[in-house]
Every structure is written in structure tokens, then in C-alpha cells.
Amino acid sequence: MYELIILLCLFPAGLSYQDLEELANHKKIPNNWTQILYDFLEISPESANQNDTSSIPKKITRKDFISNTYIWINVNKDPVDEEIWFVPSEFLTNYIEKNILRTPEIAQHYLKMLEYMALLSTGIIEKAKSNYDYIENILECSAISTYGIWKPHQIKETNRLQYLRNHGFSFDKLKSLFNHHEVNFFNCLKLTNLLQIQQNPAIDLEVIEILCLAIPTLFKLMSSNEEGIEEVAKRADKVAEKFEEYLGIENNINFLAMRAKLGLFLAVLHMSSQTEFPKNISFVKINLSGAHDQHLKMKDSDLKRAVSSEIIFAKAFLHHRILKYSEKLPLPGENKQSSPGGTKKREEVLEIFKSLKNAKELLPSTDKNYQISHAKITLEEGILALMKIKPQGWSEKHEKDMKKALEVLSRYGSLRLIMKAHYLYANILLE
């Protein structure tokens, strides 16, 4: 009984009936969890020593749990979808923290919590993407992407959360689910939790990698608070750094790549702001520099070259955006007269083309996993070409590249990227 209650207390925002069903399906809690919780809620100072259980139903179901405030657990019913939520009371949480959370036995429960939140975070992201609630950008740099360095660790079909796959979830319902679990997601990135699991031989580093990118991505999808999203991403980076330190895996290539990806995530977050972009340029550069520093520590490999490609692509994208913005309005510290003129503009455009070419060349040429990365760079080249400045002999090769990009993106299935590729390919044919 108490193992289930301890696990529930590691989710400060509580768990829904559906969550607990999934945990039972994944063998994280006993199959008779409904009976255990029902019995536990019946315990009170007056009834703790009573053995009469004749009033308890033989099979406990969702309808047997009634919204109420108990000493141990609060049972709440969502007013919109009527889902039942079990939230540990402040009394129970304080008791667990004082008496149990610092014991060695707690590590196995923390691992279960992290594993479940990894499945939930990836499940919500997959659902939002399949519903077209979020359309991937050319420069995305988040767990939305499923290719190249962003390709997630494979999750077995049997491990996926069935309630997210079997029911229609509108964006509003996904957001409601995220709001319910927001504190739980944030709790996954608490450094104090790491101390509980660092010595556990069963620790799965892939789970930590998934959470450190998926949770910031979730906050990006569901929250409009840019500062809050940035704070979550920075906390994830700190988790990765401390995990390397605690486990003695400094310069682990996967963790270095993950920290580089978080730098790219933050750079794109600052770059995507329409109104604050000029003020954010310095932050973008700082985060790109941080990503580059992590990449330099990596041993030579296809992964290192692919990370380098993403960083160069992001820098070229930033350069292009600064150039476009400066044509409309002067950047801070500039005046209108200092905006790029004819010769200077041509030099800058050709420099961006050169960077994009370098980014392509660094991608592993024989790995199909990087075809989308190649195609996205081709799209950016096509957008840049609309400025009517191109390298010598570039157009003929670009037509072939754009046709290939269109084929690749059509298989990938991102509507925005497919539409952009059709538009740019049509522009090439009309020239």
C-alpha cells in the first residue's frame, strides 16, 4: 500500500485515474491500485483500527471515488471532462518529505516517476504534432523534430500511453492535461531529486535525455511566457550538467549533444520573438556560443559534425534575419544610413550562402536520418535566393536540390514545410 502512496507523493500536482491506469499497465504500480487507494482513503484517526470492510465494493471503479478532501489525499473531479485526480495532501507530502524522501529506498520510486513523465511528455508532443496543433518551422530546434540530431530515443509501441492514442484530444484538452501536470513536469528538473537516483544502477540515461529536451519543448508549445520557457530550458541544462558530474560521465557525447541542443533551443526561442528580436540578438548569439562550446568537447563523429551543421545553420539563419530586419528598420546602435547597401548586402548574402553550403557538407551523406536536415537548409537557400543575389552557377544545382527537398518533406509530412517547398520550387521554375 505505502509504496503506491509514496510514488503518488512524488507527483506534487497529483495523478489522474487515467495516469494510474497507465502506471498499472506498465507494471509500475499494482493492478489492484483502485482497491489500495480506496482502502487508504477510508483510513482516518477514528477508523484506522477498524477491520469492518463490508461496505467496500468488491471491485473498485472510477465512479466509486467521490470528490472530497481527506487527511491523506484530495480527490478532485475536473469540471470539464469529469476526470478524477488524486492529489497528495499537504499533510501527507510533509510527512513523506520528513521521513522517507531522504532514504535509499526512494530512488526506485523517483525512477518510476521520471520514466512515466518521459512517456507523458513525448506522448503530448506527438499528439500535438499529429493534430497539427503546432506546425514545425524551418529552424525548429526542439523535440517537435524527429530527424537528425533531434531524433528521439525509440519508445516501444507497448510502452506508449494508450489513453493519449485511443482518444481524440483537441489542443484545448492537451493544454488542460499539461496544465494539470505542469508542476509535475517542473518537479522532474529539480536538482534535489537527482541526489536520490544518482547511485541507482537501474538509472536509464535515455530517460534523462528525453525529459531534458521534451519538457522545455512542452512549455514552448503550451505556455506563452517566454521567460518561463527559458527558465525551464536552463534548468534542464543544469540537470544535464549535474548528471555528468554526479555519475562521472563528463564529456559523454550524448549529454554534450543534448546540452548543445538546449543552447540551440534557447537561441531559436529568442530568435522567434517578432517584437523583441532586435533586443534578443545578443541572447541568441550567447546561446549559439554555448552550443558551440559543448560541440567542441565532443569526440569526432558523425554526431559531432551533425551538431556543428545545426549550429552553422542557426547562425546563417540569424544572419539572414538580421539582414532582412535591417532593411526595414535600423538595429539598435545603427541608423538607417548604415543599413546594408548594394555591395555590402551582396557580400553578406553570399556569405550566408557559403555558411549554408558548409552546413550541408557537414551532414552525414549516407544516413537517411539527415535528409530532412538537408532539405530544410535547401528551403532556407531558396528563401535567401528571393533576394535576387546568388552564387555563380548555383541555380541549376539548386533546382535539383529543391525537387529532392520537396520529395523528402512530402514523406516527412510537415504541412508548412511542404507548402514552403512547393512555393520555392515554383519560383525556381518561373525564373
Cα–chain center distance at 383: 27
> Cα(342)–Cα(52) distance, rounded to whole angstroms?
89
pLDDT tens-digit readout, 164-220: 876 678 888 999 999 999 999 999 998 776 666 665 656 778 888 899 999 999 999
pLDDT score at 235: 93
269/266 Cα distance (integer angstroms): 5
pLDDT of residue 324: 86
What span, in angstroms and rounded, lies between the C-alpha atoms of 105 and 99?
Answer: 12
Residue-wise pLDDT tens digits, 344-389? 888 999 999 999 999 999 998 888 999 999 999 999 999 999 888 8
The set of cell numbers assigned to 138 is 524551418
For residue 229, give the nearest of 211, 243, 239, 215 by alpha carbon.
215
Condensed to tens digits (0 to 9), the pLDDT of residues 394-404 reads 777 888 999 99
Q: Residue 79 contacts by C-beta under 8 Å, 6 or more apart in sequence?
A: none
pLDDT of residue 49: 41
Above 50 in pLDDT, residue 50?
no
Check pLDDT > 60 for residue 53.
Answer: no
Report pLDDT for 382.
93
Tell me, what's the pLDDT at 153? 80
With a cut of 70, say whether residue 84 has pLDDT above it.
yes
Residue 44 has pLDDT above 50, yes or no: no
CA distance 414 to 69: 46
Are 197 and 104 spatial neighbours (Cβ–Cβ below 8 Å)? no
Task: Identify which has the larger pLDDT, 204 or 113.
Answer: 113
Residues 276-291, mean pLDDT to the nearest whole number:
92
Q: Give the pLDDT score at 392.
A: 79
Residue 55 pLDDT more than 60? Answer: no
Do the beta carbons of residue 330 and residue 369 sit within 8 Å?
Answer: no
What pTM was estimated for this model as a whole? 0.89
Comparison of pLDDT for 343 and 216, the residue scoring more:
216
pLDDT the model gives residue 157: 55
Give the CA distances from residue 9 to residues 97, 120, 184, 200, 211, in Å, rounded to whole numbers and listed in that order: 9, 18, 10, 20, 20
Confidence of residue 282 (pLDDT cuts 50, 70, 90): very high
Q: What is the pLDDT, as a whole number, of residue 213?
A: 95
Say what the pLDDT of residue 200 is: 63
Over residues 115-171, the pLDDT tens digits come to: 999 999 999 999 998 888 888 999 999 999 999 999 988 766 556 788 887 667 888
The pLDDT value recorded for residue 132 is: 82
